[in-house]
Amino acid sequence: MTPEKQLTRSVPSTVQATVISTALLTVPTPGRDFVDLTSEAAKFINESRARDGALTLFIRHTSASLTIQENADPSVLVDLTTALSRLAPENAGWTHDTEGPDDMPAHIKTMLTGTSLQVPVLNGKLALGTWQAIYLIEHRSRPHRREVVLQFIGSNQ
């Protein structure tokens, strides 16, 4: 039998949400790729004078998505692209193919990866881990202009 692991947690902190800041980020994509949005999200937090709260990111599309993933080794993003392509290949005989063979697989990849993220903001900074970054994933093969809603809810004091 293994010994019980000791869990720890900090003392809860409470702030009164007094600020809601919203912006629309327009992102040109090069085609199938991961686009790092971390610096834009951090810039939004800085310009909003955010202190403590939560940043929500929401992509207004059904064939592109958002994720938090490793930002240190680019091969991770290559492998993730490969995995998504295996899960939803273009040549699987999809019924929905009006916009091309990459459209239905893009919808499936979005369903698997998601359209929104929430990141805690602590002391005016995104509370991401050391190797984490916020990415927009373009699932279509051609370039697009994607819209991401950024919204901070919390305190600026």
Q: What is the mean pLDDT of residues 9-17?
A: 84
d(Cα 47, Cα 28) in Å, to the nearest integer?
22
Residue 114 has pLDDT above 70, yes or no: yes
Residue 3 has pLDDT above 90, yes or no: no
pLDDT digits (tens, 9 = 90+) for 57-98: 999 999 999 999 999 999 999 999 999 999 999 999 999 998
User: Quick one: pLDDT band at residue 13, thresholds 50, 70, 90?
Assistant: confident
Both tokens assigned to 139: 């699932």
Contact 146, 23 (CB under 8 A): no
DSSP annotation of 66 reads E
